[in-house]
Amino acid sequence: MDKRWRPSVTVAAIIERDGRFLIIEEETSGGLRLNNPAGHLDPGESMADGCAREALEETAWHFRPTALVGVYMARFVKQADGEDITYLRFAFCGDLGAHEPHRRLDEGIVRVLWMTHEELRASADRHRSPMVLRCVEDYLAGARIPLDRLHTDPSVYAAARTS
Give the pLDDT confidence of 13-56 residue by residue, as tens digits.
999 999 999 999 999 988 999 999 999 999 999 999 999 999 99
| Bridge partners of residue 125, in order along the sequence | none
**pLDDT band at residue 130, thresholds of 50, 70 and 90?**
very high
- pLDDT at residue 109 tops 60: yes
Q: Which amino acid is it at 136?
A: V
Give the separation between CA 111 and CA 3, rounded to whole angstroms. Answer: 38
Give the H/E segment covering residue 40. Answer: strand 38-40
Rg (CA), the chain: 16
Domains of the chain listed by start with CATH number: 8-157 (3.90.79.10)
The answer to whether 139 and 93 are in contact (CB under 8 A) is: yes
What pLDDT is attached to residue 88? 96
Alpha carbons 117 and 123: distance in angstroms, whole number: 10
One-letter amino acid for residue 128 of the chain? R
User: What whole-number percentage of the chain has pLDDT above 90?
Assistant: 84
